[in-house]
Structure 1
Amino acid sequence: MNTIRTTRLSQAVRGALLCAFLPVAAQAQEAPTTLDAVEVTGSRIKQTEAVGANPVAVIDRATIDRSGVANVGELLLQLTAGGKALNAKFNSSGNFGYPSSGGGIGAGSSQVDLRHLGSQRVLVLVDGIRWVNESSASGVSGSADLNTIPLAIVERIEVLEDGASAIYGSDAIAGVVNIITRRDFDGALVHGYFGQWSRGGDTTEASITVGGGGDRFHGVFSASWFEQESIGAGEWDQSSWPIPGGGLAFGSSGTPQGRFTFCDPARPIGSYGSCTPSQEFFYDITLDDGTVVPVWNPADPSAGTYHDFSGADRFNYAPFNLLLTPSERKSLFGAFGFDISDTLTLRGKMLYNNRQSMNQAAPEPIFVGPYAGTGGLADTVIIHANNPYNPFGITLDPASNFGWVTRRPVEVGPRIFEQDVDTWYFNLGLDGQWRFGDNGLDWNLDYVRSENSAEQTFYNGYNIAKIKLALGDPAICAATPGCVPLDLFGGQGRPMTPQMIDWIRTTQHDASKQVLDIWSFNVTGDLFDIGGRAAGFAAGIEHRVYEGSFDPDPLRQTGESQDSFAAPVRADYDVDEVYAEFRLPFADTFDLNAAIRYSDYSTFGGATTGKVGFRWQPVDDLVIRGNWSEGFRAPNLGELYGLTQFGATLTDPCGPTGTLIVNDADGLNTTPLETACRAQGVPNGFEQANTQITTFTGGNPNLQPEESESWTVGAVWSPDFFENLTWSERIDIELGYYHHEIDGAIQPRDIQALLDACLAAGGLDATLCSPFTRGAGGNLNPPNNFLDNLAVIETDGVDVKFDWRSPEFAWGRLTASLQASHVIDYREVDRDGNVATRAPGVEANDGAIPEWQTNVQLGWAIGDWFVAWNVRYISEVSESCAGLAGLPGCPTDADRNELDATWYNDLQVSWNDAFTMPGLKLAVGVNNVFDEDPPICLTCSLNGYDAGTYDLPGRFWYVSLDYRF
C-alpha cells in the first residue's frame, strides 16, 4: 500500500483522539513514522492522515477497558455528544403501551443517540457494514440493539459526529457508530469481570478469545457470557415514598381498594349521585382502608365504609418496578481471513448472540367502564345488578349511569415481561487488488445476512372479554364453562379468590423478527496526481433487502387483552444504491472531498444525497476542516405499517389543575379557557379521571423520507511551543461547530402541546382539535396520533476537546483530557406551528437536553500501574410544573422545578503483569465514588428520574482480571 511521512501534528493527534469523548484516561502511544493507508469512518477512500476532513472520535481497546463498564451500550451512553437512549435502566414493556414509531418498546435492548436526534437517526455499522435493527418482540424498529454485540469482540469504536448519507445511505443523519471487531489477534485472552451496585444488582462477565494462523490464514474466535442482576425500585427511597412527596407527579387510579364512579337512577335529579347528563353529580368513591365487609349507604356514602376518592388514595406503583432490569447474554463469534493469492483474500465472520431479559411492573389494574378510555372492549363492560359482589344493587351501564370501576388486585402479583432474543450474523467477502503498473485499485465484495428474532412472554395479564362475562349477568356466566363471577368490590379486605384469578388471568406471547440481506461491491484507489499528490476516489453499489414482522398475541389483536392493543406487521422492501466519492488535493495543504449517492427504494422511489468537505493545513501544527452534507432517512417498516396504542400521560387543562373554576355555580364563562372547555362539553366540576390517556398511534404507509442538511467546521491544533517542555510533552486542542436541520421529520404530534393549542384556540378549531373528542363525564376519548412527515428539527452546538501529556518523570507520567459538548439551540416545530417542549436546559418527555455535558480525565502512569480519575458533568435542567403544584420544587403550576447539575466521579487502578505474572492485568474501580444521586424528576415515568441522561443511583464497584498468553 501507499505510505507517506506523517506530520508532527498527525503523530501527536493520533494518540490524543483515541480517548475522545470517553470519561477515561488513555495512555497515548507513539505513532510510527509511516502510516499505511486505511479506511476511516466517514469516507470509503483509504487515507493516511490521522486528522481527516471528518470529525471522528476513536475509542480504542485500552480506553474501553478503563471505562469500568461491561457492555457497548453503557460505554456509548457516556458520550458528551450523546442524548437519551434506551438502556437497561428503562423498565417498560407493555404497561405504557407502544411508542408511535411502530418499533416497539425495545425492552432489554440498548441503543445510541447522537445530538439528541434519536437513535433511529444514528447508523450503526460493524466493520463498515450496517447492522440489523432490533425487534425485542414488540414491533419492527429502526434502531440497532447494541446488546447484540459483545464487548469481548470489539477492537475499537469509531464515532462520526456528522451526517454521512452520501457515504453510507439512509439513517446516517446525526452520525455513525462503527464498531471494529478484533481481527489480527494472536494468542489467547481470558477475561473475568465482577461488579456490584451499592443497592445490589451484581454484574458478571467472562470471555475467552483466541486467535492465530500462518502465512496465508488467520482466524479469531471468542465466546462470552454476561449477566446483570436486577435492582428493585423499592431499594431507592425516592421510589418508595408515598405520593405525593417523591419524584412521581401522580399515582394511579387503579388502587387495591377500588374506585367507583357511577350514579343511582333512583336518586333525585340534581342531588349527589344523580344521573344528570353532565355527570357532575356522580358518586366518585373508594373503600376505606381496613374494610372487610363493604357497607353502602347511597344517601350518605361516608356513613358506610366508603369515602370520596382523592389524590391521597392514588396507588404508588413505583416500588413494584425495577431500577435496573436483569439481562443474561451468551455470544459466540468467529472470523477468518485466507489469502488465496497475493492479490485476493477470502474472509468470513459469524456471530450468534442470545439475550434473555426481563421487565417488571406493578400488578395490572382492571379498568372497566367508559372512563377507562381504551377505545375498546373495556369501555363497554356492564356490571349486572345480580353480580353477587355488587354492593350497589343496581346495574352499572355505560349507556346511562356508569363512569368506571377500577381495582388493582395486588394478590395476583406483578406483571412480568420476559424476552428471549436471538441474533445471527453471517458475512462472507472477498478483498482484492487490481494492479496497473505502479498503480492499482483495492476492491471488496460482501454478502451479509443478519437476523434478529425475539419472543416475549407476558405473565399476569387479563382477558377483558372474560372480565366482561364475569361482571355481567350471572346466568350467562354460569352457562359458560369455567366462568366465575368476579369481585371488584371487596378491596384488600376481600381479595379475589384463586378461581376468579384463574378465569381472567392469561399468559400472552408476542414475537417479532427483522432480517437484513446485503450485497455490496466497493472499489477505491488513486485516479491521477495533482501537484505530486494523488487524487483518490471510491465507488460502489449496494443492494439491501429488509424483512420485518411483528406478531402480537391474538388477545392484543382483538382488543381482548387488558394490556395494550397491537396489530400485526409483516412487510418487506428493498433498496438499490450507487455512490461515488472523490478527494482532490490542491497544493500541499488543501484537500477537497466530495461524494454523491443515489438510492432507489421499492417503497417510495429514488433519492439523491451529496456531501462536500475540505481539509486545510496552513501550518504544520494546525488543521482546519469543514463539511456540508445532505442526508435522508427512509421510513422503516414499523413507521410505515405499525398500529398500536400508547398510554400518553396528559394533563387536561379543563380539569382542576387548569384554570377552569371547579365550583362555578353560576356557570358563567369567565376566562377563555372556561369558554373553550365548555364549548367541548366539559361539565362544571370536571376532574380528569385518568392521567394516562390511551392514544391510537402507529405507522403511515404514505410517509416520505426525512431530509436533512448538516454542516460542521472545526480546527485541530497541536501548538509546537508546548512540545517537549519540562512540564509538557504535548498539548492538543480541538474545537468544532455543528448544525443539523431535518425537514419532514417523521414523528407524531406532541399530543400535550396540541391539546393545549386546541383549547387556546377556543376548543373547536378544525385542525388543532381534530384528534380530540370527549365522552362520558367530559373525559377525553382516545385521540388518534399517527406518524407523519410533520416537523422541522434544528440543532446546533459546539464541541471542545483538550489533551495534555507530561514528559516521563522518575515518579511517572501525568495525562489530562477534556471533552465537552455545548448545545446552543434545539427546536422542533410541527407543521401546525406548535413548538415542542424539548429545548436546551429543559427536561421533557423523559429526556433532558443539558446545555453542557463535560468529561474530564486525569491519569497517572508509573511502571506497571495506572491510576485514572474521571469526572463527568451534566449541567442543570428544569421541567414544567404544570399540573404539579404542591409537589416539592413546584409551589405553583407556573413555576419550574430545577434539576441541579450533576457530577460523577469515577476511579480505577490497574496493574499490568500483576503479581509478577507476565500477561496478567488486574483492575479495580469505583464509579460514582461520592454516591451522587440523579436529580428527582417530577414528570419522569416510573422511577422519578431521567434514566436516559443520568446514572443509576448509587455507587458501582468492580474488579476486572485479564490474562493474555
Structure 2
Amino acid sequence: MNAPRRHPLAKAVSLCLLIGLPLLAAAQEPSTPTDQTRRGATTLDSIQVTGTRIRKAEIETQTPVQTLTREDIERTGLTSIGDILQELTGSGSALNTKFNSSGNFGFSPNGDGVGAGSAQVDLRNLGPKRVLVLVDGMRWVNEASASGVGAATDLNTIPLALIERIDVLEDGASSLYGSDAIGGVVNIITRRNFEGGQVTLNYGQYGEGDGTQKGADIAWGFNTDRSNLFVGISHVDQEEILSKTRAQSRFPVPGTGLTFASSGTPNGRFIFFPGTASSACPLTDVDDNPATAPVPFCNITTPNGSSYAPIPAYPGDFIGFGTANRFNFSEYNMLLTPSERTGVFGQYRFYFNDKVHAYAKALYNRRESTNQAAPEPIFLGPDAGTGNPYADDITIPGSHPYNPFDIDLVSSGPGANLVLIGRRPVEGGARVYEQKVDTKYFAAGLEGSFGNEQTFFWDINVATSENEAEQTNYGSYNIRNIALALGDTDSSGATCAGTPGCVPLNIFGGPGTITPEMLAWIQPVVRDRSEQSLDLVTANLSGDLFDLWAGPVSFAAGAEHRRYEGSYTPDPINYVTMPDGSVESHYNGVPSLPTAGKYDVSEAYVELNVPLIREGTFGKSLDLSLAGRYSDYSTFGSQFTPKYGLRWQVADELLLRATYAEGFRAPSIGELFGSASRGDLQIDDPCLVGLDGSPPTGSAANCAALGVPPGSAQSNSQISVTTGGNPDLDPETARSFSAGLVFSPAFASGAAWSDRLDFELTFYRHSLEGAVQAIDAQTQLDLCVETLNPLYCDGITRSSVGSINGFNNRLTNLGSIKTDGWDADVFWTLPETAAGRFKLSWQNTIVTRYEAVGAAGQVQPRGVGIEVTDSAIPEWTSTANLDWRRDNWNASWSVRHISELEEQCGDAVSFPVCSDPAKGTNTLDAITYHDLQLGYRIEWFKGLQLTAGANNVFDKDPPICLSCSLNGYDASTYDIPGGRYFYLRADLRF
C-alpha cells in the first residue's frame, strides 16, 4: 500500500507527461476555440477555481462543482454552514446541533470523542473525515470538542458573515488537494471586494415556542486604488429544545413506553442471591444444574417515588422489579442543543502594482455549547460491565450502616452473590456538559503575475490555525469514592473511616436520601481539554506552457508543507496514579485516557490541461486533464495519486465529461494515537433474554459455550465498548470515477417560454480500500455468537451470570467501501413577464449501491435504503426550488424529499410500532418537507430588505426510528419532531 520513500517528485511529473504524449500525437487539426457559458463554468482572473489548480481567464472543470451563493444560503433560513450543507442531496449523515451527544454516545473508536456542539459535512456517505474543507483554497484546521482529537472539520468554527459563496466538489481530488479529499471538497470563499456596510438581523423560533435562534451580522469594507479591506462580525444564539416537549422523543423508543428505559432508577434495582427465600425473593430457577436449582434470587426495588429514612426494611418494603419501575432518561435529553457562536474576521489586500499584491487574513471564533443528559446512573456488580474494578468487583459488607439486607454483597470470588445494583442519584442533578471552543486563524501571502505574451500566475502563502476546546461536566461521579463510601477498603487498603472527607453512601434509601454531604464526597466537577493546530506553507505557479494545434497547454504546479499537532487531556480523575505507582480510573462516567501526537507532510503536484481538438470532425473541442501529487508523510512514508479527465464539447448544446482519480486518506492523530476509551452503545445481546422478555435469538449451544447460563436476561440496553486508536494503521486508498453530461438545448434559450434550460446528469463511483474503522459492535457480537470465531470473540468477556463485562472494539484497516449512484439536475430560467421572473432548480441524488465489507469478509449493516447507527443512506433524495422576483418583491418555495428507509426492530419487534414483526424490520416512510420565504425591499429606507420564512410548513414529524440512540428519530437526516420553524430577517446596506 505504501509507496517507497525514495520515490522522487520527478516521477510524479514525468508520469503525467508520459501519459499525455501519445494522446497529443493523435490530436486533430487546430481551429478557433469557442466559449460555452453554463452552470459549472467559472471565469477567473487570478482566483482559484475549486476542482482545478490552473488559473486562466476561462476554464471549465472536469467534474461539476455545485455553488451555493449568499442568496442560496439566505434562502434556507439556517444559521449554520453544517446545517446548510447537510440539506444537499449528495450529503450523508453527520453531526449537528440536533445530536445531544455527550453522556449518551460515548467515545467512537476514531479517537475523535463525541464532537459535542460541532457541525460536520459528509459527501457520498463516505464519512465527514473523508471530506476536505478549504477556506479560500487552503485547508481548515480539524475540530476540537474537548473529548478527543477529531479527523473532521467543525463548520461551526466558520461564521456565515464572512462567506461569499460555497463551492462543493463531489469527486475525488487527492491529486489536487492531498489527503482527505476522497468523498469531495468543500471550498468556502470569503467576502473580499466589499464597499460600504451591511447589518443583518435574524430571529427565528419553532412553532412550539421554543428553540429560539437570534443572530446579528455586521460587514464593512472599502476599496481604494491600491487596497481593499473587509471586516465581518457574526453572532448566533441558538436556544435549546428539550426532548420532553415532543411526544416522539419523550421515551427512549417511541411506542414502547418504559420497556427500553433504564434499570438505573432513583429507587434502585438490586439483583443478588440472598441465601434464603422471602416474599420479595421467591425461589426462582436460574440454573439448569439439578444439584443447585432452584435457588433464591432477588430482582427487586422499592415502589416508585418511595423514600425511606434512612433505608427500607427487607423484605417488606421491596417489590419485584418490572418495566413500570424503569427510569425514563429521555425526559432530560435535548432535541436541539444550545449553541452560541461569535466570530470576527478581517481581510486586507495591498496592491504594490498591477503585478504583485499582498494579503493578510485573521479570524477569531468562540463557540459555547451545552449538552445535557439524565442524572448519571451508578451501576455496581459484575453485571455493571464497566470494566472498572471499583464498580464490577465491589463488596458491600452487611455491617454497612445503609445495607438493608444484613448480608455481605460480594461481586466475585468465594461467596459471590451480587449481580447488579443500579441507582440513579437524582439528588445530584442532570449531567451538564458545557463546551467552549476557540478558533484562531491567520494567513498571509503574496500573489502576482508575470509575462507579456503569456501570463503566469504565482502565489506564496503561509497560514497557522488552532482550535482549543474546554468542556466542563457537572453531574458525574467518582467511582472510587463511591466504592469507599460503600465498603470497608479499596485496593490500596484505604478505608472510609480513615479517609478525610469520606461519608458513607446511602445507595439503598430511595430519592432524597443521598445528602449534600454524601454528594460532596462522590461528585466532582470534571474538566477536559483538547486542541488541534495546523501550520502550512504553499507555493503555486500556473499559466500556459506552449501552443499546440488546438490551443495552449496550460499547467499548474506547486509545493506544500503542513504540520499537524493535536492532543486531548481528560480530567485527571480518568487516570489517577496510586501510591503503589499503578494508574486507575476513578471516573464513573465514560472514561478515557490522554491522547497526543503530531506529524508533518511535504507535497508537490502538477496539473496539465491539454487541448486535443478545436472545431474538428469530432466536435467543437476536446480537452485532456492530467494531474499528479506526491506526498511524503512522517508517519507512514510516501504516496502518489494521479487523476485523469476528459472534457468533450460535442456541440454548443452538449458537453460530455469524465474523470478517473486515485486518492488516499492518511490516518488522523486520533486514529493513530488515540488511547483506550469507552463508548456505551445500544446493543442487543443474542444470548440473553431481551428487555421486552423476548427469548434469545442466538444458538443455545454457542451461548453455553460462551459461558451464558440459560435464562439469563439483559438488564441494560447499553453495553460498554472499549475503543481506541492503532499506531499500525495504513492510509486508506481510493479510486473514484465520474462521467456525465450537460445539455443546454438551443430551442430553450431566448425563447418565449424559456430564457435558459440546462440538464445535468452525472454518474459517480467510489471504491475505498483499507478503510480505517472498527467493525460494527453489534455485527461483531452477532458473528461471535454465530461462529464462535476468535476473530470476533477475542476481546468480548462475560460475567458469571452471562452478561458482557468487557468488549474490545479497536480500529483496523477494514476491508472496503464501495458506492455508486447518479446526480440528475434541471435548471430552468423563465423570461421576465408582468408576473415577474421565475427560476426553477431541481436536484436529485440516487444511490444505487453502498457496500461496506470487513477485512475478514463480514458485511457491515449499512446499505442503500437502510437506517442503522443513527445514520441513513436514502435511495433517493431530492430538492426543488422555485424562485420568483417582481419589482421589490421576491419569494421562494423549496421542496425536500427523502425516500423510505428500513431498519431492524431489535427487541422492539413485539411492539405495534415495529411495522413488519414477521421480518423483524420497521419501515421509515418517505417524507417531503416544504419551505417558504417571502421578501420585500424598501427602497426609500436605503434598500432595507425584509424577509419572512417558514421551514417545514406542514409540520411533518420525522418517521419513528427504533434503532436510533436518542429522541426516536435520525437527527442527521430529518427535521426535529414538531419542526415547523418561522424566521424573520432584516438586511440593511449603507
TM-score w.r.t. structure 1 length? 0.93
What is the identity, as a one-letter code, of the residue corresponding to 1:630? Answer: E
Aligned residue number for residue 433 of structure 1: 449
Match 1:359 to one of 348, 352, 371 = 371
* Contact persistence 1:246–1:944 (CA under 8 A): no
- Quick one: distance in 2 between partners of 1:510 and 1:279? 49
Aligned residue number for residue 765 of structure 2: 739
Match 1:838 to one of 846, 862, 872 = 862
Aligned residue number for residue 828 of structure 1: 852
Can you list the C-alpha shifts for 1:589-618, whole angstroms capped at 9, x where unaligned? 101001111111111111111100110001
Aligned residue number for residue 356 of structure 2: 344
Give the CA deviation at 1:672: 7.4
Match 2:241 to one of 218, 221, 231 = 231
Aligned residue number for residue 457 of structure 1: 472
| Range moving further from structure 2, 171-180 or 253-262 | 253-262
Aligned residue number for residue 654 of structure 1: 687
What is the identity, as a one-letter code, of the residue corresponding to 2:568? Answer: F
What is the identity, as a one-letter code, of the residue corresponding to 1:866? Answer: N
* Contact persistence 1:95–1:564 (CA under 8 A): no
* Contact persistence 2:304–2:325 (CA under 8 A): no
Count of matched residue pairs: 928
Corresponding position: 1:778 with 2:802: yes
Aligned residue number for residue 223 of structure 2: 213
Give the CA deviation at 1:771: 2.5
Aligned residue number for residue 811 of structure 1: 835
Aligned residue number for residue 576 of structure 1: 602
- Quick one: distance in 2 between partners of 1:753 and 1:325? 31
Match 1:311 to one of 323, 337, 348 = 323
Match 1:390 to one of 400, 403, 406 = 403
Matches of residues 253-264 of structure 1 in structure 2 within 5 Å?
Answer: 253-264=263-274
Q: What RMSD over aligned residues (CA atoms) do the two structures have, in Å?
A: 2.4
Match 2:880 to one of 856, 861, 864 = 856
Aligned residue number for residue 444 of structure 1: 459
Can you list the C-alpha shifts for 1:677-720, whole angstroms capped at 9, x where unaligned? 11111112111122211111110000010000000000011000
Aligned residue number for residue 200 of structure 2: 191
What is the identity, as a one-letter code, of the residue corresponding to 1:603? Answer: T
* Contact persistence 2:277–2:297 (CA under 8 A): no
Can you list the C-alpha shifts for 1:85-124, whole angstroms capped at 9, x where unaligned? 1100000113432111001111011110001111000000
Give the CA deviation at 1:919: 2.5
* Contact persistence 2:608–2:625 (CA under 8 A): yes
- Quick one: distance in 1 between partners of 2:641 and 2:841? 36
- Quick one: distance in 1 between partners of 2:882 and 2:694? 58
What is the identity, as a one-letter code, of the residue corresponding to 1:374? Answer: T
What is the identity, as a one-letter code, of the residue corresponding to 1:404? Answer: L
- Over 3 Å counting, the alpha-carbon distance change for 1:575 and 1:361 in structure 2 is same
- Quick one: distance in 2 between partners of 1:65 and 1:768? 49
What is the identity, as a one-letter code, of the residue corresponding to 2:683? Answer: L
Aligned residue number for residue 427 of structure 2: 411
Matches of residues 606-645 of structure 1 in structure 2 within 5 Å?
Answer: 606-643=638-675, 644-645=677-678
- Identify unmatched segments of 5+ residues in structure 2: 1-30, 576-583, 615-620
Corresponding position: 1:673 with 2:696: no
- Quick one: distance in 1 between partners of 2:275 and 2:951? 63
Corresponding position: 1:201 with 2:214: no
- Over 3 Å counting, the alpha-carbon distance change for 1:529 and 1:915 in structure 2 is closer
Corresponding position: 1:467 with 2:477: no
Aligned residue number for residue 303 of structure 2: 288
- Over 3 Å counting, the alpha-carbon distance change for 1:246 and 1:531 in structure 2 is farther
SS at match of 2:499: coil
| Range moving further from structure 2, 248-257 or 851-860 | 248-257
Aligned residue number for residue 709 of structure 1: 735
Aligned residue number for residue 328 of structure 1: 340
Match 1:484 to one of 477, 500, 503 = 503
- Quick one: distance in 2 between partners of 1:213 and 1:5? 38
What is the identity, as a one-letter code, of the residue corresponding to 1:428? Answer: A
Give the CA deviation at 1:280: 7.9
Can you list the C-alpha shifts for 1:759-816, whole angstroms capped at 9, x where unaligned? 212x3x2223222221130111221111010120000000011011111111212221
- Quick one: distance in 2 between partners of 1:68 and 1:6? 42
- Over 3 Å counting, the alpha-carbon distance change for 1:296 and 1:513 in structure 2 is closer
* Contact persistence 1:95–1:563 (CA under 8 A): no
| Range moving further from structure 2, 867-876 or 479-488 | 479-488
- Over 3 Å counting, the alpha-carbon distance change for 1:214 and 1:517 in structure 2 is same
* Contact persistence 2:880–2:896 (CA under 8 A): yes
What is the identity, as a one-letter code, of the residue corresponding to 1:68? Answer: G
- Quick one: distance in 2 between partners of 1:244 and 1:133? 36
Corresponding position: 1:381 with 2:394: yes
- Over 3 Å counting, the alpha-carbon distance change for 1:287 and 1:5 in structure 2 is farther
* Contact persistence 2:347–2:360 (CA under 8 A): yes
- Over 3 Å counting, the alpha-carbon distance change for 1:278 and 1:684 in structure 2 is farther
Corresponding position: 1:932 with 2:932: no
- Quick one: distance in 1 between partners of 2:48 and 2:305? 71
Aligned residue number for residue 167 of structure 1: 176
- Quick one: distance in 2 between partners of 1:374 and 1:893? 35
- Over 3 Å counting, the alpha-carbon distance change for 1:677 and 1:296 in structure 2 is farther
Corresponding position: 1:122 with 2:124: no
SS at match of 2:212: strand
Aligned residue number for residue 931 of structure 2: 906
Match 1:107 to one of 108, 116, 122 = 116
Aligned residue number for residue 6 of structure 2: none
- Identify unmatched segments of 5+ residues in structure 1: 18-30, 664-670
SS at match of 1:178: strand
Corresponding position: 1:800 with 2:824: yes
- Quick one: distance in 2 between partners of 1:924 and 1:242? 35
| Range moving further from structure 2, 390-399 or 241-250 | 241-250
Corresponding position: 1:515 with 2:548: no
- Over 3 Å counting, the alpha-carbon distance change for 1:684 and 1:874 in structure 2 is same
Give the CA deviation at 1:246: 5.2
| Range moving further from structure 2, 887-896 or 387-396 | 887-896
Q: Using the aligned pairs only, state the percent identity.
A: 47
- Over 3 Å counting, the alpha-carbon distance change for 1:655 and 1:943 in structure 2 is same
Aligned residue number for residue 42 of structure 1: 51
Aligned residue number for residue 667 of structure 1: none
* Contact persistence 2:52–2:61 (CA under 8 A): no
* Contact persistence 2:44–2:56 (CA under 8 A): no
SS at match of 2:573: helix
SS at match of 2:804: coil
SS at match of 2:847: strand
- Quick one: distance in 2 between partners of 1:609 and 1:672? 46
What is the identity, as a one-letter code, of the residue corresponding to 2:404? Answer: P
SS at match of 1:512: strand
Give the CA deviation at 1:273: 9.0
- Quick one: distance in 1 between partners of 2:816 and 2:946? 50
Give the CA deviation at 1:264: 2.1
- Over 3 Å counting, the alpha-carbon distance change for 1:863 and 1:274 in structure 2 is closer
* Contact persistence 2:286–2:711 (CA under 8 A): no
Corresponding position: 1:560 with 2:586: yes
SS at match of 2:352: strand
Aligned residue number for residue 775 of structure 2: 749
What is the identity, as a one-letter code, of the residue corresponding to 1:258? Answer: G
- Quick one: distance in 2 between partners of 1:612 and 1:513? 38
- Quick one: distance in 2 between partners of 1:874 and 1:256? 41
- Quick one: distance in 2 between partners of 1:133 and 1:619? 44
| Range moving further from structure 2, 718-727 or 923-932 | 718-727
- Quick one: distance in 1 between partners of 2:254 and 2:761? 45
TM-score w.r.t. structure 2 length? 0.90
* Contact persistence 2:252–2:330 (CA under 8 A): no
